[in-house]
C-alpha cells in the first residue's frame, strides 16, 4: 500500500513539474512574440488595399521611391513561391488562376518571414494586397504588429478591368491570372470581402479616388503618409 502511495506521489510530482515546464515555455514564447511585435511596431506599417488593377503596385513603387519603405506584395510573394516550382507553388497557382483567395496561413507565413528578414534595416513596411478578408487583418495585427494606416484605392470595376487588360496586352510575360475570366472572378472575390474590412478598420483607413491621374493620386498618398509619420513621431516622444 505504501509503495503505491509513494509511486502516486512521485507520479503527481512529475506531472506538476512537466506542467510547470510547459507553462514556462509558453510564457517565454508569448514574451518573445511581444518583443518581436514591439520591435516591428516602432516601424510604420501601411496596408495597401483595393481591387485588382486599381493601381496598388503603381502607387507602392512611388512610395518606395520617396520614403524608401520595404514593399511586400502578397501577390508577388505568392508568385515567387509558384515560380519555385514546388508542390505548394502548384497548389497556389491553381487558386490564383481561379481568382480565389489563397489560405491565409500561406500568405501570412510569407509576409511574416519577409517582415522578419527586413525589420532590422527597414524604414517602414508597405503591405500590398493584404488584408483581403477581415480575418486576415485580425491575424496580421495579432501575429506581426498593428498597422498604422490603410490606404484604400477606390476604383470602378470597369476601370480596373480595362487597366489589367491593357497591362496584359503590353506585357512581354503575361500573368496567368490576367485574362478576362479570371479578372472577373478576382473582382467578384474583392467585392465580397471589402466592405467588411473597410468597416472594421474605418478609423485607420483613408479612401482615395483611384480613377484619377497617377500623380494626383500620389499627392494624396503623400499627405496621408506624412500625417501618419508625424503622429507616430509625436507618440514616440510621449512614450
Which residues of the chain form contacts with ligand AP5 (CB under 6 A)? 50, 52-58, 73-75, 78, 95-96, 99-102, 107, 129-130, 132, 136, 163-164, 166-167, 177, 186, 210, 214, 217
Q: Which is nearer to ligand AP5, 119 or 167 (CB)?
A: 167
CB 13 to ligand AP5: min, Å: 48
CB 129 to ligand AP5: min, Å: 3
Q: Which is nearer to ligand AP5, 18 or 86 (CB)?
A: 86
Q: Which is nearer to ligand AP5, 70 or 232 (CB)?
A: 70
Q: Which is nearer to ligand AP5, 41 or 185 (CB)?
A: 185
CB 88 to ligand AP5: min, Å: 14
CB 90 to ligand AP5: min, Å: 14
CB 206 to ligand AP5: min, Å: 16
* Residues sharing a CB contact under 8 Å with residue 14, sequence separation 6 or more, in sequence order: none
The 149-154 sheet, strands edge to edge: 70-73, 125-128, 45-50, 149-154, 205-209
Q: Which is nearer to ligand AP5, 44 or 137 (CB)?
A: 137
CB 30 to ligand AP5: min, Å: 26
Q: Which is nearer to ligand AP5, 75 or 232 (CB)?
A: 75
CB 146 to ligand AP5: min, Å: 17
Q: Which is nearer to ligand AP5, 27 or 80 (CB)?
A: 80
* Residues sharing a CB contact under 8 Å with residue 62, sequence separation 6 or more, in sequence order: 214, 218, 221
**Residue whose Cβ sits closest to ligand AP5:** 75
CA–CA distance, 239 with 232 (Å, rounded to integer): 11
Amino acid at each position: 500500500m505504501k509503495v503505491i502511495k509513494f509511486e502516486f506521489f512521485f507520479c503527481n510530482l512529475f506531472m506538476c513539474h512537466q506542467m510547470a515546464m510547459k507553462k514556462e515555455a509558453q510564457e517565454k514564447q508569448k514574451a518573445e512574440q511581444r518583443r518581436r511585435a514591439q520591435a516591428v511596431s516602432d516601424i510604420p506599417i501601411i496596408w495597401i488595399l483595393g481591387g485588382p488593377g486599381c493601381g496598388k503596385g503603381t502607387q507602392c513603387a512611388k512610395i518606395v521611391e520617396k520614403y524608401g519603405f520595404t514593399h511586400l506584395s502578397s501577390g508577388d510573394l505568392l508568385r515567387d513561391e509558384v515560380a519555385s516550382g514546388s508542390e505548394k507553388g502548384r497548389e497556389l497557382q491553381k487558386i490564383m488562376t481561379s481568382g480565389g483567395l489563397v489560405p491565409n496561413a500561406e500568405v501570412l507565413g510569407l509576409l511574416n518571414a519577409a517582415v522578419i528578414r527586413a525589420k532590422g534595416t527597414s524604414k517602414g513596411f508597405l503591405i500590398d494586397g493584404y488584408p483581403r478578408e477581415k480575418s486576415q487583418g485580425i491575424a496580421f495585427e495579432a501575429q506581426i504588429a498593428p498597422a498604422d494606416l490603410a490606404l484604400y484605392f477606390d476604383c470602378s470595376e470597369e476601370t480596373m478591368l480595362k487597366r489589367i487588360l491593357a497591362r496584359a496586352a503590353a506585357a512581354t510575360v503575361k500573368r496567368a491570372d490576367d485574362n478576362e475570366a479570371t479578372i472577373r472572378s478576382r473582382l467578384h472575390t474583392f467585392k465580397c470581402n471589402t466592405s467588411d474590412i473597410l468597416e472594421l478598420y474605418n478609423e485607420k483607413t483613408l479612401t482615395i479616388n483611384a480613377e484619377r491621374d497617377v500623380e494626383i493620386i500620389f499627392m494624396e498618398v503623400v499627405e496621408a503618409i506624412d500625417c501618419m509619420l508625424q503622429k507616430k513621431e509625436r507618440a514616440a516622444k510621449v512614450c
